[in-house]
Structure 1
Amino acid sequence: MPRKYIILLAVTLGVIVLDQWTKYLVVRELTTQMDGKETLGERLGAMYSEPPPQGFNGLHYQPKRHIEVAESFFRLRYLENPGAAWGMFRGLPPEARGPLFHVAIIGAVILITFNFRKLSGTDPEETWALWGLPLVLGGALGNYIDRIARAFVIDFLEAHWFDKATFPSFNVADVAICIGVGMLIVDSFVRKEKPAQAPTQA
């Protein structure tokens, strides 16, 4: 198997596993959803089965605590996002939101695959795209698993400034997407198309 496809599989699967594992830990430790579930199978069933109805706070899984990582700056808190990144489109009705995300993820996978196949995998100038594209793909698929399982994405990373200004909550998949997009932006500058040289006259 060519090296570039090993990178694609390793990075994409690595992001998906890390994303889903951290969400599992958040649901287990910060919500009541897995309380009383003794085995791993029972906990996974509680996480990936049809979620319970929304409670009075608008959440399906009820929080029991949050963790202050850096007081007044950063915390781990369970939240649910039925929309896209940073909560976009969360106001759309479910019957419109679902098909939109299905089309978006299929389009993203096709676009990423198309661009990745064009890479040689050996040109040092392709390094940013070689790693950036799998990061975006892994992040997109990680959040898509959430949407298929329960129609909302689990977010838990919350940056804030003394609770006066709060950055939209995010997760590991979102981080991978942002890093990947940043690398692709760098790639667009590194691999600028060189102007064609005029043929030399004899």
Structure 2
Amino acid sequence: MPRKYLILLTVALGVIVLDQWTKYLVVRELTTRFDDRPTFGERLAAMYGEPPAPGFTGLHYRPKRHIEVSPNFFRLRYAENPGAAWGLFANLPPTARGLLFHVVSIAAVVLITWYFSRLSGTDPKERWALWGLPLVLGGAIGNYIDRIARAFVIDFLEAHWYDKAAWPSFNVADSAIVVGVGLLMVDAFVRKETPKEQEKSAEARP
């Protein structure tokens, strides 16, 4: 297997596993969802095999506590996001919202995989895309698993400023996507052709 595909599989799977594992820990430690489910199998069934009732509003899993990492700046608190980033499209009807996210998620996976397949894997200038694309892919799949299992994404990382201003809650998958997009932005600048390179390319064409 080419080295670039090993990077793709390792990074993407690593993000997915870390994302789902942290969400499991958050549900176990910060909600009552697993309180009457002592075994690991029962907990997995409760988290992935029991979708919430359609039309339900509010939190599906009841919070029982939160963790103050830095009292004035950062905490771990269970949250649910039925929409996209920053809660976009959360007010759409569940059927329309579900269809939209299925189409967008599948299209994103296909596009990322296609773009990654076009990388040579040997050009040093490609290193930003070589690591950025798998991060975005892993993050997209991590959140898509949530949407398939329960129609909402579990968030728990909450950055704030003395509770006067707060960044929307996020998770490991979101973080991977942000870092991956950042690397792709760097890639766009690094691999941008200079005027001389463009002239050479034009001269080489028949």
Same fold (TM over 0.5): yes
SS in 2 for 1:195: helix
Q: Residue 72 of structure 1 aligns to which amino acid in structure 2?
A: N
CA deviation vs aligned residue, 1:141-172 (integer Å, no higher than 9, x gap): 00000000000000000000011001000000
| Structure 1 position 125, deviation (Å) | 0.3
| CA distance, structure 2, for counterparts of residue 168 and residue 98 of structure 1 | 21
Match of residue 21 from structure 1: 21
Q: Residue 32 of structure 2 aligns to which amino acid in structure 1?
A: T
SS in 1 for 2:198: coil
| CA distance, structure 1, for counterparts of residue 186 and residue 103 of structure 2 | 27
Are the equivalent residues in 2 in contact too, given 1:78–1:156 (CA < 8 A)? Answer: yes
Match of residue 195 from structure 1: 198
Are the equivalent residues in 1 in contact too, given 2:52–2:150 (CA < 8 A)? Answer: no
CA pair 158-131 structure 1, distance change in 2 beyond 3 A? same
Identity %: 75
Match of residue 176 from structure 1: 176
| CA distance, structure 1, for counterparts of residue 80 and residue 103 of structure 2 | 21
Match of residue 34 from structure 1: 34
| CA distance, structure 1, for counterparts of residue 36 and residue 97 of structure 2 | 33
Match of residue 157 from structure 1: 157
Match of residue 43 from structure 1: 43
Matched, 1:88 2:88: yes
| Structure 1 unmatched runs, 5+ | none
| CA distance, structure 2, for counterparts of residue 51 and residue 7 of structure 1 | 33
Are the equivalent residues in 2 in contact too, given 1:77–1:158 (CA < 8 A)? Answer: yes
Greater mean deviation of Cα atoms: 191-200 or 166-175: 191-200
Q: What is the count of residue pairs matched by the alignment?
A: 199
SS in 1 for 2:156: strand
| CA distance, structure 2, for counterparts of residue 34 and residue 196 of structure 1 | 64
Q: CA RMSD, aligned part only?
A: 1.6
| Structure 1 position 196, deviation (Å) | 2.9
CA deviation vs aligned residue, 1:109-161 (integer Å, no higher than 9, x gap): 11101110110101110000000000000000000000000000000000000
TM-score by length of 1: 0.94
